[in-house]
Structure 1
Amino acid sequence: MNKLKLMLVVLLTISITACFPSNDSAKKEILLQGRTMGTTYNIKVVATIEQVETLKLHEKIEAVLQQVNQQMSTYMPDSEISAFNKSHSTEPVEISVGFARVLAESIRLGELSGGKLDITVGPLVNLWGFGPKHRPETVPSDEALVSARARVGLHNLHLDGRQLSKSIPNLYIDLSTTAKGYGVDMVAELIEVNGIGNYIVEIGGEMRLKGFKDTGELWAIAIEKPILDPSGVQRAIHEVVIPKDNAVATSGDYRIYFEADGQRFSHIIDPATGKPINHHLVSVTVITPSSMTADGLSTTLMVMGAEQGMEFAQQHGLAALFISKTEHGFTEQFTVKFKQYLK
């Protein structure tokens, strides 16, 4: 799935004291780690080692993430989404509950944003060299752009319950803007079903948190300063937030890009132009209860740009932080709803 958003939000080792700390000495922060969706995952649960081992929690997490990959990874040729993309049939097919859930939210966000989030934009992502095909980093010709754009359009995708169909045979869908967040949500739900109420789940930078640390303190998250560095070596903290029982997702264009003829081309494609975004907004962070929704919204707002994105976020009551690049460094603006989470 290897979503083209690297870890833009990093977990801090700092915390703030909660109003009613709970310190059960038998329960500690247990770290569960692994790889999934072309990236890493880091999960902390406040529990006893015996509880985690008895529940076989790590094995259950691995199974859930494998299922998400099998449903929605465009990098797996035998995944559910790959089978749909390869098929040229326009007849409805029955899809899994998870696949349908992510599609429904992706379509909702696409319609809500006037097409700024478009999960059929995959042909353009591939054309610009940022998809699973990894094409050469060159600027596409106008003819190639016209050809690819003819295959794009959310109106060509139809979801009715679990019945999925397409209007054109070569429609290609890519859920990289929402599926990783969905994976975070699924792991969080699994942890809660197993009786653990204090945790932090992080997959490739997308997060969902609940409860407290083992010290009785609230989880604190650092938002990274959007420094242009494709290697990811240069890192600095821009802001610290206390999300409480919420999900956090950040989208940015400063890690994945290529340069040609002195111009930098972002991996984030604007469906309206078929080209990488070209504005001063470099990072957007969204806080919502669902990681899948935060994931999709952060990309949506990045495509919109600072002015339109801020207007959209305010209109829909979103908690969002915008960081823009200027000649003298960075400027930030945030919605009224986001302010409550600032440390």
Structure 2
Amino acid sequence: MKSVFGVLVVLVLLAGCRQPAPYVVNEGMVFGTTYRIVYQSEVDYHADITAAIEEVNQSWSPFEKQSIITRVNRNDSDVVVNDHFINVFDKSVEISKATHGAFDITVAPLVNAWGFGFKKKDSITTELIDSLRLFVGMEKVQRVDHRVMKQDGRIMLDASAIAKGYGVDVAALCLEKHGVANYLVEIGGEVRTKGVNTQGQSWRVGIDKPIDDPTVQDRQLQAIVALDGVSLATSGNYRNFYVDGGRKFAHTIHPQTGYPVQSDILSASVIAPDCMTADAYATAFMVLGSDRAMAIVNANPSLEAFFICTDSQGEMREIYSPGFEKIIVEIVDDRVR
């Protein structure tokens, strides 16, 4: 009996000495950008994660010749949309309504015309923009079961402002399916988190200072936040832009005017339960400007936001919701707010 008890004690001690699972780091390229996924696990799930993300790519990438969105855009009558397409499309409709049309995935013709989409830039004229606006508006397209119905064949979809966030969600849910409790998924700067990092703390994530830097050679931080169980997405016009004739043209196109956005927000960072939602709202808030955007945040308990804005004197300042303030670890550039 004593020997059995001794064995049990040894087994308990050995169990107590077991080291926690290591943190795995997976990195690569997807959606034309980089990804970095960190999670605590004895098993490397990289193959499963990339397979799940590729399903999103084949659903929503306009650069894939046989993707669902490409077939929808070219009016393929045989295309049947899958669950990934439905999830993103339905969320797009929801957020378009919530932002009074500031978010709109039918903006593709305008984005292409300005040279930020999947086709070559056109020669911009007032007449061209006015003609293309006839094919923009979420009310002009609808989903009926697994089919997409367009009022006009010239209507095209561009989900670049939401599909990347959805890819983050799909990768995160893949990890959760495998029982992973601590992770950070980041694709092109959009993030979803759960649990703690290698130091046992909430995940620390930086928000970039909005410096015109398309090559990302002069990256600086404006703030650092602590995240656990939420997603963070940031939209800004300081990386994807071009200069023509001395004028800067940014990639965020106003769906209702047809022209690149001119608002006081230089960078919009949004916290939401899922990254798809955060991604779409971040883009919409760039269109709306700080006052209208913050009104939407304050009316929606599931959203928090951090805006880096420019005032009438051209000085940068931060505006953030009360809930966002609670997760700020540090304001790196501590100017008047």
TM-score (norm 2): 0.88
Q: Distance in 1 between matches of 2:27 and 2:76?
A: 39
Q: CA deviation at 1:316?
A: 2.2
| Offset, 1:163 | 3.1
Equivalent residues of 2:263, 2:288 under 8 A apart: no
Does residue 1:292 correspond to 2:273, yes or no? no
**Cα displacement string for residues 45-104 of structure 1 (whole angstroms, at most 9, x for unaligned residues):** 1123xx22xxxx111111111111111101111101100100176xx9631011001100
- Determine which of 18, 25, 32 is the counterpart of 2:26: 32
Structure 2 Cα separation of the partners of residues 220 and 329 of structure 1: 27
Distance 2:66 2:21 in 1: 41
1:271-282 alignment to 2 at 5 Å? Answer: 271-282=255-266
- Cross-structure match for 2:304: 319
SS in structure 1 of the partner of residue 199 of structure 2: coil
Structure 1 position 84 matched with structure 2 position 72:
yes
- Using the alignment, how far apart are the partners of 1:28 and 1:88 within structure 2? 47
- What secondary structure sits across from 2:102 in the alignment? coil
1:69 to 57, 61, 64: 57
Residue pair 1:73, 1:82 contacting (<8 A) in 2 also: yes
Partner of 1:20: none
Higher relative contact order (CA 8 A, sep 6+): 1
Which residue in 2 is equivalent to 1:267?
251
Structure 1 window deviating more from structure 2 (325-334 vs 123-132): it is 325-334
C-alpha distance in structure 1 between counterparts of 2:30 and 2:274, whole Å: 19
Residues 88 and 169, structure 1, Cα contact 8 Å, conserved in 2 = no
Structure 2: where are the runs of 5+ without partners? 1-16, 330-337
CA contact (8 A) 1:222 1:237 kept: yes
Q: 1:235 aligns with which of 202, 209, 219?
A: 219
Equivalent residues of 1:284, 1:323 under 8 A apart: yes
Contact 2:241–2:250 (8 Å) recurs in 1 = yes
Give, in whole Å, the separation in 1 of the partners of 2:270 and 2:95: 14
- What do you get for the CA RMSD once the two structures are aligned? 1.7
What is the distance in 2 between the residues matched to 1:24 and 1:156? 59
| One-letter amino acid matched to 1:182 | Y
Q: What's the offset of the Cα at 1:30?
A: 1.3
1:158 aligns with 2:142: yes
Matched residue of 1:94: which SS? coil
Whether 1:253 and 2:253 are equivalent positions in the alignment is no
Give the letter aligned to residue 184 of structure 2. Answer: I
Shift in Å, 1:214: 2.8
Cα shift at 1:325 = 2.4
* 1:201 and 2:166 are equivalent in the alignment: no
Amino acid in structure 1 at the alignment position of 2:63: Y
Shift of 1:324: 0.8
User: Does residue 1:174 correspond to 2:174, yes or no?
Assistant: no
Give 5+ residue unaligned stretches, structure 1.
Answer: 1-22
- Residue 338 (structure 1) shift: 1.4
Conserved in 2, the CA contact under 8 Å of 1:42 and 1:201? yes
For residues 118 and 309 of structure 1, do their structure 2 counterparts lie closer, same or farther at Cα, with a shift above 3 Å needed?
same
**Counterparts of 1:262 and 1:307, CA distance in 2:** 29
CA apart distance, 1:160: 3.1
Distance in 2 (alpha carbons) for counterparts of 1:134 and 1:336:
43
Whether 2:323 is the aligned partner of 1:337: answer: yes
2 CA distance for matches of 1:220 and 1:305? 27
Query: For 2:213, what is the secondary structure of its paired residue?
Result: coil
**Larger Rg computed on CA atoms:** 2
Query: What is the rounded CA distance, in whole Å, between the counterparts of 2:66 and 2:80 in structure 1?
Result: 16
AA matched with 2:223:
E
The change in CA–CA distance for 1:88 and 1:215 in structure 2 (over 3 A counts) is closer
Distance 1:112 1:24 in 2: 50
